[in-house]
Amino acid sequence: MKMKKYTILFLVALMSFTSCKKSFIEQTDPNAIPLPESFKTETDVLLAVNGAYQALRSGDNIGETSGLYTDERSDDTGRNDSQSNAGEPFQFGDFSILPGNTFLKTHWLNLYQAITRCNTVTAYIDKVTFASASTKGQYLAQAKFIRALMYFQLVRKWGPVPVVTVPLTTTEEVTANTYRQPEAAVYAQIVADLKDGLTGDLPNLQTGGNAGRVGKAAINGLLGQVYLTMASTLTDGKAENLANANTYLTACYNMRPFTTLSTIPYPDVFDVARKTAVNNEVIFEVVNIQGNLTYSSSIAANNQALGETINSRKAGLSSGGNVTRDLVDEYEAADPRKTFSVKYAAAPSVLDYFVTKYRDASAEATTNGYGGNNTPLMRYADIILLLAECNLNQGNTAAAIQYLDMVRARAGVPLYAVASADPAYSAKFPTLKLAILHERRVELAFEHIRWFDLIRTFTTTELVAYFKAKSQATFGIAKLANFSTKDRYYPIPLDETKLDPVRMYQNPGY
């Protein structure tokens, strides 16, 4: 008897409806094994969880090369070569993105693919008998964390989005579930998944062979960031959301395996030679394997500018990853993070700054540029600065400065009381709010965080004013004049709105 085989990516399935009569999700394969029947052993579940982790590696998801969707959308990086304005990627930094942009659609689909992999785990895990309830709980917690992380990406980039937490196996199910839900509903699902994850028997931090997996510190850290974002995004419950943010961020901070941040030199966090030792600042990261074709890091080689050798033994052929002068000019005098993170390429065809933060010029990476740097997704400097931001928003100025100074002390720059008395510093960052935003920018540059910091710190109107106040001369060829209120969110991919213009309505301005 023939058995139906259903794909697990519901939005990919949706797109096929416009191009063929037969649903993409209803392909008949006499050799296929129905998905529920593939869950028989603990190993089957582990492989499914690993599949969810694997999705995070992609540059179309949140992997190391996903800066197109975040850093290039912000004021940190861009595309400044003479040919860049001819392609779709340029639309992101130029604030001229179109709903039909194929890169945007790929990103949307990839995030939902990861969600669907998580839904498969949560839906079918009960079919397996586990020798230990603890193991089952750990797998479930990890799947729910990744699902929450994906929805957190979606809701901040698009606003209201479809929320699906079960596998969809028929055309009718896909149609019924494909509609934009309010941001509050998306956040409610994120919070529910993360709180469920905290009930799992996970260690605080994952180390050794489990490095790269989720621990309770990561769940607490993400919950804190979610609540902090809710406080600035949703109209109701600001005080309660801030209180929750402080609670969970503090819980994450209290799980740190070090005394003070200053005991961990900034370069050590990104030093590929120290990967065999314990990197105490890491909370959650994608682990890469040096010299490995499939699982290595390519970010160092990809950012190697012509004529440079600092990043990789692979020869640079172009301008590398363009860094805006707007970011370069924001570093304070003698801030060692600038020297470590960016470099000026003097080749006549470049004459621009490029990223050096993830360098790996070791012999083990080979001349192919198969680097070993991990991709940081959450680290303690991030959590500490989120605590500074949270306390400021709660009116706890002294506590906010205390957390801010932890990061500044580690960097070796003057503490806030001294810096704020400097006319040059105070002119750029006249408020503690802007000082914290500045510190996050220079500390966490190129970690795909800047855009989210901007939309959390400013209202849409304030964000437009912030960008309009920048100098076009330090921004590159992307046009600051294009930035408007529409750019708070991405457009819903065109194929989605065409299928159902009412329930998958387009964002304003597109």
Residues 488 and 352 in one domain: no
Whole-structure pTM value:
0.93
CA atoms within 13 A on the CB side of 108: 25
Instruction: Give the pLDDT confidence of 243-260 residue by residue, as tens digits.
Output: 999 999 999 999 999 999
Q: Report the chain's C-alpha Rg in angstroms.
A: 23
Q: Is 80 exceeded by the pLDDT of residue 505?
A: yes
List, in order, residues 6 or more apart from 423 with CB less than 8 Å away. Answer: none
The verdict on residue 5 lying in a domain is no
Q: Is 60 exceeded by the pLDDT of residue 56?
A: yes
Q: Are 214 and 204 in contact (CB under 8 A)?
A: no
Residues 109 and 247 in one domain: no
Q: 79 versus 27: which is more confidently predicted?
A: 79
pLDDT number for residue 318: 80
Q: Are 385 and 443 in contact (CB under 8 A)?
A: yes
Instruction: Give the pLDDT confidence of 457-469 residue by residue, as tens digits.
Output: 999 999 999 999 9
Q: Is 50 exceeded by the pLDDT of residue 18?
A: no
Residues 409 and 430 in one domain: yes
Of the pLDDT bands very low, low, confident and very high (cuts 50, 70, 90), residue 319 is confident
Residues 81 and 132 in one domain: yes
Q: Is 50 exceeded by the pLDDT of residue 32?
A: no
Max mean pLDDT range (23-27, 97-101, 166-170): 97-101
Q: How many domains does the chain have?
A: 3
Residues 297 and 361 in one domain: yes
List, in order, residues 6 or more apart from 480 with CB less than 8 Å away. Answer: 95, 467, 468, 470, 472
Cα separation, 283 vs 462, whole angstroms: 32
pLDDT number for residue 33: 53
Token couple for 96: 């001229």
Q: Is 70 exceeded by the pLDDT of residue 28?
A: no
Point out the domain boundary residue: 339, 373, 407.
373
CATH code of the domain containing 64: 1.25.40.390
Point out the domain boundary residue: 348, 373, 398.
373
Looking up tokens 């029947």 gives: 37
Residues 351 and 469 in one domain: no
Cα separation, 349 vs 367, whole angstroms: 23
Q: 179 versus 22: which is more confidently predicted?
A: 179
Looking up tokens 């063929």 gives: 20
Average pLDDT, the chain: 91
Please give the average per-residue pLDDT across 479-487, as a whole number: 97
Residues 63 and 163 in one domain: yes
**Whole domain around residue 326: which residue ranges?**
292-373
The verdict on residue 29 lying in a domain is no
Residues 75 and 156 in one domain: yes
Token couple for 182: 């309010």
Token couple for 59: 């540059």
Of all residues in the chain, what percent carry a pLDDT higher than 90? 85
Of the pLDDT bands very low, low, confident and very high (cuts 50, 70, 90), residue 80 is confident
The verdict on residue 22 lying in a domain is no
Residues 454 and 404 in one domain: no
pLDDT number for residue 84: 61
Q: Is 70 exceeded by the pLDDT of residue 277?
A: no
Residues 45 and 151 in one domain: yes
Point out the domain boundary residue: 329, 344, 373.
373
Residues 306 and 339 in one domain: yes
Q: Is 80 exceeded by the pLDDT of residue 26?
A: no
Q: Specify burial of residue 482 (Cβ count, 10 A radius: 0-12, 13-18, 19+).
A: middle
Cα separation, 463 vs 465, whole angstroms: 5
Residues 265 and 389 in one domain: yes
